[in-house]
Structure formats: C-alpha cells, structure tokens
Structure 1
C-alpha cells in the first residue's frame, strides 16, 4: 500500500511538473500585443513572396488579404476600431467571438494573418517550421490552453472568411491569360534581355477593394506617339536617353535604390540567370514597419497602417493596370533602340508591361498618401529596406518626399518617360485620398482624430 501511494505521489508530481505555468490575461495580453510579433510575420510573408517570385500586382493582393485578416481578427479586442465589413466591395460581416469567453486577440490576429498568407502563397514548407516556432512564443507567455485553442479557432474563422472573400475577386479566372502583341506603331512590345510576356494583362478585371469601378480615376492621355524631331513625345524620349548617357551619381543611386524588381535578369555571355528581390509593395510595407517602430505605435495602430496601405496599393495597381493596357504605350528602350541608338540600354531592366503610367509611382504615392493621413505630413525616416540587397540607405523628410523620389527613379532608370511617372504619382495620390475618404477604421469621426 505504501509503495502504491509513493508511486501515485511521484506520478502526480511528474504530471504537475509537465504542466505549463499560466499567467493572467493582463500579463499575457500585454506580451502578445508586442507589435514586433506582427512585424515579424510580415517580414516572413515578404520572404515567401520573394522566394515564390510573385509579380508586383499579385504581391499587392497577397499583402492586402493577409493584413485584412490580421486587422479583422484584432478589432473585437479594440472597441475604438471598426471592422471593414460593409466598407470594402463585397466584404460581408466578419465572424464574431463568443460572448463571455476569454480570447487573446493578438494571437487570433497572427493566426488569421499566417493562415491567409499560407493559402495565397506557394511554398507551404516555408510556413511549417516558421509557424511552429512562432506560435510557441504565445504558449511561452503563459496563455492558458483553452484560451490558446479558442483564439486560434477564432483566427481560423476570420481567415476562412477572408479567403472566401478573396475567391470572388476574379483572380483565379484570369490565370494563364496571355496578351497578344499588336505591333501597331507606338505600342508596347517585349523588351530585352528576357523578352518576357506581358505581366497580368487582365488585372483591370480584378475586383478593387474600394473603387466603384476600375475606370473611376482616369489619367490624362499620354503624349501622342510622334517620331518627328520636335514632337512632345520625342522630347520626352530624348530626356530619358540623355539621362541614361549622362547619369549623375545621385540619379544612379536613386534608380538602384527603388529598383524593387522581383526577378532581375542577368546575362553573362550565353548564360542567363536571375536574382530575386523585393517588390514595390513589399518595400512600402517595410517603410510602414520602420515608421511604426519609430513612432512606437501599438499593435492595433500598426495593423491599421499595414491594412490601409495594402488596400491603397492594391487599388492603385488595378487602376494603373487599366491605363497601361488601354494606352499600351511603347517603352523608351524600344523607341531609342529602333531609332537612333541600337546599343543604348536603360540603367534598370525594363519590366514586361506597357509604360503609361508608372506602376511603382502609382502604388508608392497611394501608400504614402494613406500613411500621411494616418501619421502626419512631416514624418522623417531613414529607409534601410534595400540595404540587404546592396542598395544602401536613404533618408526622407516625409512620405511625399519618398514617393516622389521613388517615382522619378523610374525615369532615371531609363524605363519611363516623365509624364508616365508624374501622372502615375498623381493617380496614386488620388487613389490614396479616395481610400482614406472611403474607409473608416475608427469609431470616432476622422476630423476628430489628432494626427499622431
């Protein structure tokens, strides 16, 4: 009998020693609300997008839906914020948590984000080990098992809701569509070195998040294709050519810094290979992270910035791509090579889609405009995003300063005309202002919100 009692005592002690130590909701919610956790998820998503070589418009779609899921799962724990259900085109009410039950909404948000990110990317193996290690951090915070299970389940419910929503945006229906080059004078044709097919020629049929239609914001017509010496078009082309022949160090640095080419083609002799890099949307969300950290924004504010910026960039891509494949304007490289200098090459690789208007200019201005509304007009920051790719760092006085720098970088790089970058920037500003006007993330009126 004594031996049996001793055995049960040892068994009980061993069982107790294997239990996790739990803490109070106040303690674990504070730990789980560290924005660094959400930022790290965003960095991982960018790494997966780079690995999978998603094109910039597609990358913007992935960022928008993942951040929407993360935002929606966090809203119930932040009563001063409101859901975007009913505000985004076709987005219905998000599942709600069970009343009277304890949740860790930062954990639910992370789960929703990662589940959507996994669904919309290819490399599931990159998520497996990462998620195992990432979600262990929440267990180590002392969150009770039932709260973990309930919060993860809620995050999954929100993720499924967003995934279902994404399925209705016409993205799947336009996979594999190829553009037919017309060879009409002044229209786009594939460019060296890869002569790649046109990128996402049907992107203007994807459902926008906020715009009433893809044609809601129209750009002015580009300069008429005219090869006569003194035409406006030839003046624009000559400017690109002259910059390329006489680039200053500042222009070269600026062009390279904002390259953001997801798949840079390199040709050495008869060998062709490529380098993978960050896309423009990834670059701007990295800027968002930098400023959010600088300003010590809390988790909800950080997620708000990511979500609003992502949605603005997505809609800017839709609007921009509608113009690109309407005007189908020829690239400077083609005009110059077929005209007066067959050996001329742009400093940056010409991307595989029509020139007018600049996509990078559009989405940079859209995101920068939204961030200006959210965080202020004179927010100075140093952008280290491209340092890991050998592009150095740049400091800016404001978001506007940064997005104009990004815009003109495309002209310095030899891949856009001046009107293409300037009108692209104006389009992005218009879209960004529209997104800000259209969406209410706070329950207070916007004019009552003090700029941080």
Structure 2
C-alpha cells in the first residue's frame, strides 16, 4: 500500500540522517511530536491492513492516544490527567525514575497499547523498533532510554487494564444481527452483501456520555413507498442528486468515502480496496492541525487524545441509533421502488442507514478540535493523498465536518435526515465533551488562532 511505503521511507531516511547528527540530537527529535505523528500514521496503516470496522478503529485510536497523553500529564502539571474524568478510568500511582524522558515514555505507551489492540502486531513492533534504534544511535543514554520505556509500559498497562473493562471482549460473542423482512428494515447490499457490522456497539462503555442514548435523535421519517410521501421524496432526492452531479460534488464524495469495506469485482474475482475509516481521517486531521499550530509532543498527545475520545463516544451514540431504527439504505429502496438499475456513487457500507456515521463522528471531532485550536483555523487536509486523492483546504473544522456530512448525500448512501440529525447529534456530543473533559489548565473555549 502506498501509505505503508511512505511511512517506511520516512523511517529509513531518518535513520540515514542519524549518523550526521550530534550525540544529543535525540532531544530535538523527541521534542516536536513528529515521532508521535509517525506512530499514529503507522497505526492507521495497520488498522487499514487489518480491516477494522469504524467503531472498532475508534476504540484502538482512543486507548492508544489516552496512553500517550497520560504520560504528558505526568510530566507537565499544566496538563490534567483523564483519570477521574473518563468513566471507569481510575487514578494510579506510578513508580517514576529520577532520570526519565517523558516524550519517549509517551511514545512507548502509545506503541504498547496500539500493538495490544490490533492483529498485525509485527507491523507496529517493526516500526517501533526502527524508531527506538534510531534514538539510541542519536546518542540517547541507555539508562535514560530504559527508564523512559519502563515508565511508558507502566502507563500502557494501566490503560490496557482500563480497556479490558469496556465490554468489548464480551461483545465478540454476542449474537449477530438477524436481517428482518420488514419493508423498512435494512438489508445487506451489493456487491458483497455483508452482515450488519457491530450491532451491539451501544453496549460498549462510553468514555464521557452517561449512556449510549444520551443524545438520541428524533425518529427517522416514517417509511412509505407511496409517491409524494416524505420518505419517498427523501429517496427521490438521493436519486435526483446523483443523476447530474458536478465534478466538485463527486470530488467531495470520494474524499470523504472512508469505507474500509469497499469491494471491487472484475469478472469472477472479488477483492477489497482498503480505505481509511472516518475516525482515521479525523485522527489524520488532528495530526495536521497539531503540526500546523506548531505544537510540541505534549500538545500533539493532547490533540490526539481529545479527538479520539470524541470519536469513541460518537460511534457508540451513532450505532445506538442505527440498530434501533435499522432503516433501509437508499440503494435498496431506490432499486426496489424507483429504478432497479440505479447505483450510488459510493459503495454502500454494511450497516443500517440512520443516522449518518460520518455526520455524527465528524461533527463531534470538529467540536473537540475547535475547542483546542479555535475558529477560524485554516488547514490543508492531505489525509487522503496516500490513497490517490488530492488535498482539500478548509477554514475551520466545522467547515470540514459540514462537507463530510453532505458528502453522504452526494455519494448516494444517506437520506438528508440522517445527515441533518446525525450532524446535530455529533455537535451536541462534542459540546458535552468540551464541558465535561479538561485536558489543560486554563484551556480557553476559543483557543488562540495559530493556524491562519
């Protein structure tokens, strides 16, 4: 995959430069957060490789990012630990060596938690080993290196223990979704007709929300097949919009596709086209924003943690509604009642329609990032470049979230109410998290604009 090559080249090129640097150049290398960005990019590569669903991917990002941030909070009193703020995350006393590099400890914690939550452990291990070896070659003293790794492992152990109590492992044995014959109910869609993904995700412990249905959406439009009724007209809107789209609308749809289950068929051969998840896209935006703002590694850790927590609860809230309403997708409805030959621009994901996952997650993440960086905040979103798509530029995170939401109409995979009410749910959740979770002393509601 293109992104795997890019990240590998980064490590090899950086290792080549090590020999030309001074004996204490590791300090500069660790200070600016670039290595944490590299670790986050590698984790995204692995999540794509292992084909984790959007909800599961959000879980992996969250615990990994929390581990790195907890180290930052240990090393800098201006940052506030998430213990006591996240549901079930209890404080812990750590044995902190006198000589320790907190930035390396944060990196070690991130790698350890991430590796424990994926399948392809060797991909993260090899990446970590390359980074750590380069740091040693840059002159990092052995004792300092070992102490820092040990502290990172302590924090990672605490976060992993926390992760094991969120009901995820128990949910792996829950019953699969049973497809209903009710006309309004979701049906698996072509070309691979996958079963419904994560029907019990609302049983996962939330991090900030009090319960999965805390921000419950108003019911979807009553189902009807009669022309002129509201539901029929919503389906006609999808059908009509996709008949004569501008190139800009198509570009928007493709940019925010983020479907890790896309399958291509050539003749009798079916093969997967691996893509980033919606959460992965927003974690990429978080890294870009942090770098744009010139944050150090602690600021980077805060940004990743805050964004991932919003995404974690967003997928729980969204999936709670998806499997309550189990609403039919436009592709199924339009093929049956309007045009049997119609195809959406994007491939329909394998779960119910209402509400739009990208609308919920994008708006929740946008609110989290707006708290950290303020508005306006101009950034260049290059997240999808690795997957063959061009950059897009935005003047705020909310602007990006709005575009991500409407992309689902252009893609032909959502009716407008799922987009509108999904966006509302995400904004309400994001606002709630902003009021409940503090990561830094004196963090203003409208952060200083540094990304103009």
Question: TM-score, normalising length from structure 2?
Answer: 0.92
SS state of the match for residue 384, structure 2?
A: helix
The reply on whether 1:178 has 2:176 as its aligned counterpart is: yes
TM-superposition CA deviations, 1:156-180 (whole Å, max 9, x none): 0110111110000011111153100
**Which of 137, 141, 145 is residue 144 of structure 1 equivalent to?**
141
CA distance in 2, matches of 1:396, 1:74: 29
Q: Aligned partners of 1:373 and 1:40: how far apart in 2?
A: 24
d(CA) in 2 for partners of 1:354, 1:250: 27
Query: Which whole-Å CA distance do the structure 1 matches of 2:164 and 2:202 have between them?
Result: 16
Residue number in structure 2 paired with 1:107: 104
Q: Say if 2:315 is the partner of 1:317.
A: yes
Counterpart contact for 1:333–1:346, Cα < 8 Å: yes
- Residues 10-159 of structure 1 correspond to what in structure 2 (within 5 A)? 23=24, 29-98=27-96, 101-159=98-156
**Following the alignment from structure 1 to structure 2, what is the Cα–Cα distance between the partners of residues 366 and 167?**
25
2:427 alignment counterpart: 429
Using the TM superposition, give the Cα deviation of residue 302 of structure 1 relative to its aligned residue in structure 2, in angstroms.
1.3
Give the distance between the partners of 1:128 and 1:273, measured in 2 at CA. Answer: 27
The equivalent residue for 2:13 is none
Q: 1:167 aligns with which of 159, 164, 189?
A: 164
1:241·1:336 contact (CA, 8 Å) conserved in 2?
yes
Offset of 1:220 from its aligned partner? 1.1
**Number of positions where the alignment pairs a residue of Structure 1 with one of Structure 2:** 428
Post-superposition offset of 1:28: 5.1
What does the per-residue CA deviation read over 1:237-275, in whole Å, with 9 as the maximum and x for residues that have no partner? 000001121122111111011111112111122221111
> Does 2:252 match 1:254?
yes
Question: Structure 1: where are the runs of 5+ without partners?
Answer: 1-20
When residues 80 and 241 of structure 1 are mapped into structure 2, their CA distance, relative to the original with a 3 A threshold, is same
Residue 147 to residue 124, structure 1, CA distance change in 2 (3 Å): same
From 383, 386, 410, the equivalent of 2:384 is 386
How far the C-alpha of 1:219 sits from its partner, in A, is: 0.5
CA distance in 2, matches of 1:264, 1:379: 32
The alpha-carbon deviation at position 30 of structure 1 amounts to 4.3
1:21-80 CA-partner distances (Å, limit 9, x unpaired): 965xxx754442221011011011111111111011000000000000011012121111
Q: Distance in 1 between matches of 2:126 and 2:83?
A: 33
In structure 2, what is the equivalent of residue 213 of structure 1?
211
> Deviation per CA, 1:128-182, whole angstroms, max 9, x where unpaired?
3222111123223433222211111110011011111000001111115310011
Q: Distance in 2 between matches of 1:122 and 1:358?
A: 28
In structure 2, do the counterparts of structure 1 residues 244 and 450 end up closer, same or farther at CA, with 3 Å as the change threshold?
A: closer
Cα distance, 1:239–1:178 mapped onto 2, change above 3 Å: same
In structure 1, C-alpha distance between the alignment counterparts of 2:410 and 2:315, rounded to whole Å: 22
Q: Could you state the TM-score of these two structures normalised by the residue count of structure 1?
A: 0.92
Contact 1:89/1:210 (<8 A) preserved: yes
Secondary structure of 1:266's match? strand
Kindly name which structure, 1 or 2, has the bigger radius of gyration based on alpha carbons.
1
* Residue in 2 that maps onto 1:245: 243
CA contact under 8 A between 1:95 and 1:161: conserved in structure 2?
Answer: no
Name the SS of the counterpart of 2:223 in structure 1.
coil
Task: Measure the CA separation in 2 of the matches of 1:185 and 1:132.
Answer: 54
Partner of 1:343: 341
Change (3 A) 1:318 1:448: closer
Q: Which runs of 5+ in 2 are unaligned?
A: 1-21
Cα shift at 1:340: 2.2
Distance 1:200 1:285 in 2: 21
Q: Spell out, residue by residue over 1:286-315, the C-alpha distance to the aligned partner (whole angstroms, 9 max, x if none).
A: 111112111111111111111000000110
Deviation at 1:408, TM superposition (A): 0.5
